[in-house]
Amino acid sequence: MATPAPVSARDRIETLDVLRGFALLGILAMNIRAMAAPFGAYMYPYALFDFTGASRAAYIFTSVAFDLKMMGLFSMLFGVGVLLYADKPTETGKSLRSLWFRRMACLLLIGLIHAYLIWDGDILVPYALCGLLLLWWVRRLSARWLAAGAILMLLIGSLLTFGQGLEWESMPEEERAQEAEFYMPTPEQTQKQLTAMLGSYPDVVRHRATFVLLAQTMFFVFFFFWRCGGMMLLGMALYKSGFLDGRRPVGLYAAVAAVAMPVGLALAWWGSAELERVRYAMPARAFRDVWNYVGAVFASIGYAAAVILIVKRQAMPAIRRALAAVGQMALSNYLFHSIVTSFVFLGWGLGFAGRLDYAEQLVFVAAVWLVQLIVSPLWLARFRFGPAEWLWRSLTYGERQPMRR
């Protein structure tokens, strides 16, 4: 019997790689808001830039098309990962469970380094925690039970989001002021955040340490666990049902894409319009955020169906191959986003933070997409893994993995 080992290139499922690449690129379209400007500008469009013209259109477009949808799709694929890992051949004395937990522990370590030293908007730590606390233990459930668990977790998450609005008036004044600074900062508060971004490297790390700790504790408990965990279970259910890896008929994917995508985007658009109507102010925004919270689930499934349909029909082969390469190097490309944007926008680098409005940020995003779509296939033509994937696998298996093809 074979020793547990990383999945080889020939064993990879093209559909999943293309989906992962598509989701990874889409995530940058949202993350850029908090990479190129203070986090307040991510949450509150009036915080720093003129919310008019092309900048307003870009903010609304990314909110409707990308917000929670790409993270949801990527979370679904992360859930599938535990099923693929559990199907590896084993050797007597080798425990797939211990390897999985070692794999998640290594991802947790990478995420902690990323969050504290590179970019504070890290998602690797929440993913690793979900992998440790949830995924392995539910992997044997049927698709039906996994779907039920996903619905329950997402329902709890939506209720927690809704509950923020309900408890707003009963909050102590000091706590409400902290929440207000997070969701709708004043220009003075935003400028203070911007000044911190433009500080020296030690200053930047020190300033964001508190936010990182909150994200990995309180935000994980009240948001990431339910949202990411719920979408991971949904991905596992869709994979077990034969949907997410392209085993179902073409007509089903066409139908799902034609229904789920418009429904999800319509709900997200309605929520965005309502948020603008109340000027993104708490507590009204908490009630209206639920529209996108729910709509993003439908949109993520619709996006998956549309991409799978393209793969099944063998359409756009060049783009497909490029996206698959990006997906195979998802961790490296994700970290590349953080390293490049930190250098370009933070004070210890070029210091461009706060200079690009929402529309100009998307131009930057498109340039990064182009680079990754070109470089990823070239890299994989010579190497088995991306550099971060190679490190992750080497740490997981306790030995240096072969890198060159």
Spatial separation of the C-alpha atoms in residues 127 and 231, rounded to whole Å? 11
Q: pTM of the prediction?
A: 0.94
Asked if the structure places residue 58 within a domain, the reply is: yes
Which structural domain range is residue 28 located in? 9-397
Residue 3 belongs to some domain of the structure: no
Q: In the predicted model, is pLDDT for residue 6 greater than 70?
A: no
With respect to residue 404, please indicate whether it lies within any of the assigned structural domains: no
pLDDT per residue over 330-376, tens digit each?
A: 999 999 999 999 999 999 999 999 999 999 999 999 999 999 999 99
Question: Is residue 320 one of the residues assigned to a domain?
Answer: yes
In whole angstroms, how far apart are CA 388 and each of 107, 110, 330, 335, 385? 10, 9, 9, 8, 8
Sign of CA dihedral 42, 18, 109, 349: negative
Distances (CA, A) of 395 to 11, 138, 384, 391, 392: 21, 25, 16, 6, 5
Residue 1 lies in a domain: no
Which ranges of 118-199 would DSSP assign to H, the alpha helix? Answer: 124-130, 136-138, 143-166, 173-183, 187-197
Cβ pair 305, 257 in contact under 8 A = yes
Q: What are the angstrom distances between the C-alpha of 24 and each of 20, 42, 282?
A: 6, 19, 30
383 beta partners: 404
pLDDT above 70 coverage of the chain, percent:
96
The burial of 288, by beta-carbon neighbours within 10 Å (0-12 exposed, 13-18 middle, 19 or more buried), is given as buried
Whether residue 331 is contained in a domain is answered as yes
pLDDT in tens, 270-315: 999 999 999 999 999 999 999 999 999 999 999 999 999 999 999 9
The per-residue pLDDT for 87 is: 84
Distance CA 7, CA 397 (A): 12
- The Cα–Cα gap between 343 and 401 comes to 30
* Residue 302: Cβ within 10 Å count: 23
pLDDT of residue 276: 96
| Phi, psi torsion values for 46, nearest 5 degrees | -90, 0
Residues 219-230: what's their mean pLDDT?
97
Q: How many domains, in total, are found in the chain?
A: 1
Torsion of CA 108, 224, 23, 292, to 10 degrees: -170
Burial class from Cβ neighbours inside 10 Å (0-12, 13-18, 19+) for residue 145 reads middle
More confident residue, 7 or 153: 153
Q: Compute the half-sphere exposure of residue 299: CA atoms within 13 Å on the CB side of its CA.
A: 25
Residue among 402, 385, 394, 381 at smallest CA distance from 333: 385
Which of these, 211, 215, 185, lies nearest to 45 by C-alpha position? 185
Which among 32, 84, 107 has a CA at the least distance from the CA of 331?
Answer: 107
Take residue 78 and report the two structure tokens written for it.
Answer: 């992360």
- Give the per-residue pLDDT at 95: 83
Tell whether the model's pLDDT for residue 91 goes beyond 60.
no
CB 281 within 8 A of CB 247: no
Confidence of residue 90 (pLDDT cuts 50, 70, 90): low
What separation, in Å, do the N-terminal and C-terminal C-alpha atoms of the chain show? Answer: 24
Distance of CA 399 to the CA centre of its chain: 29
Q: What is the pLDDT of residues 46-60, one digit of tens each?
A: 999 999 999 999 999
For residue 309, give Cα distances in angstroms to 65, 318, 369, 379.
19, 16, 22, 27
